Amino acid sequence: MTWTGTAGDNNWDTGGNWSTGSALTSADAVQINSGTVNLNHAATVSNLTLSGGTLVDSAAMTVSGLFSWTGGTLQGVNGQGSLTAAGGSTISGSLVTLDDGFTFINPAGQTVTWGSAGGNSVIQSPHPATFDNAGTLLLQGNTSMENSSTFNNSGIALQSSGGSSGFFDQDVNNSGT
């Protein structure tokens, strides 16, 4: 199911904003390529691809399958909003944005693969946001997290050969490996 925004109200729950014309269920695989999508309650989807646009979330979203992030913004509201990648995730865009108090959560037992061999991948945070890793974070190529954000690692963070990672202008809390 792909976000179209056709209804014009930017509301996640309006069926007319989705390619099928109907509201989402937890079994749906979702794709957001452009536009602004507002979600103001807890929600679960089976898979989520964010390749552009902005997902504005003031509650807790769970992606039970794969979360693929190649572009666009995860944005909180008044310091609230989160996405738990319960089925693992890939972050492969050259520039993605984590903003306005949003928290990205990689839970224990899951893996985030961030970057690509020989490529550059940046997570920017113009306003405070948080990346929580309790699982495994595989860093490939050249990866960096920039600007006013917090990186919490209670899991495993591994850098592949042939690349480098940097965490600039942010807090890093590491109780993992």
Question: Can you give the pTM of this predicted structure?
Answer: 0.93
- Which pLDDT does position 51 carry in this prediction? 97
Instruction: Give, for all 177 residues of the chain, the pLDDT tens digit.
Output: 999 999 999 999 999 999 999 999 999 999 999 999 999 999 999 999 999 999 999 999 999 999 999 999 999 999 899 999 999 999 988 889 999 999 999 999 999 999 876 678 888 888 999 999 999 999 888 888 887 789 999 999 988 766 777 776 678 889 988
- Which pLDDT does position 136 carry in this prediction? 97
Q: Residues 157, 73, 123, CA angle at the centre, nearest 5°?
A: 35
What are the extents of the domains in the chain? Answer: 26-160
Q: Report the sign of the C-alpha dihedral through residues 33, 37, 40, 43, in that order.
A: negative
**Residue 23, SS3?**
coil
- Which pLDDT does position 48 carry in this prediction? 98
Distance CA 129, CA 81 (A): 10
Closest CA to 168 of 154, 150, 142: 150
What would the two tokens of residue 167 be?
Answer: 């965490």
Taking the CB of residue 71, how many other CB atoms lie within 10 A of it?
18
- Which pLDDT does position 143 carry in this prediction? 86
Count Cα atoms within 13 angstroms, Cβ side, for 51: 7
Count Cα atoms within 13 angstroms, Cβ side, for 40: 7
- Which pLDDT does position 169 carry in this prediction? 66
Please check whether residue 37 is in contact with residue 10, taking contact to mean a CB–CB distance below 8 angstroms. Answer: yes
